[in-house]
Amino acid sequence: MTADLITPGHILCLEYLSRKGFVVVGLLTDKALKGYKQNVVPFSDRKFVLEALAEANDNIFIANQDSLNPTEVIEKYKCDAIASGDGFEKAELEAIKKFKLKKIDIKFGGEVTKKYGSSMIKEKICKQK
């Protein structure tokens, strides 16, 4: 997760997953995002916000993810599933195959995640300038 901008879609996804079991959020560090996606909010601040959300739910833990490849987080926390609300990246698909992970494709009728996608919100803000 990048979590540059926390949206209702992120919160709904985290709530949904936490009802299924313990959730480890691989939060992409600034290093991991370099060359992949431009982030606005520094890692320490993104982590602060997610940890504040996680405090309200004992089933959520925020882990530093230093690469787009989630392998290190999966191995360290012995994950048995991987989730995505907007489609799986190549490295995630490779990890699913390598570790025989359950794939959780989160869709809330498509409306919530699409309506409040952080990329879409950023685009709208930029267009208004």
**pLDDT by residue for the chain (129 residues), tens digit each?**
999 888 888 888 899 999 999 999 999 999 999 988 888 899 999 999 999 999 999 999 999 999 999 999 999 999 999 998 777 889 999 999 999 999 998 876 555 555 656 666 667 667 766
Q: What is the DSSP letter of 118?
A: H
Indicate which CATH number applies to the domain containing 123.
Answer: 3.40.50
Concatenate the DSSP letters of all residues of 10-44 into one string.
HHHHHHHHHHHS-EEEEEEPHHHHTTT---SS-HH
pLDDT the model gives residue 118: 61
Q: Any residues with CB less than 8 A from the CB of 36 and at least 6 apart, and which? A: 28, 68
Domain count, the chain: 1
Q: Indicate the pTM of the whole model.
A: 0.84
**Residue range of the domain that includes 74:** 8-128
Residue 1 within a domain: no
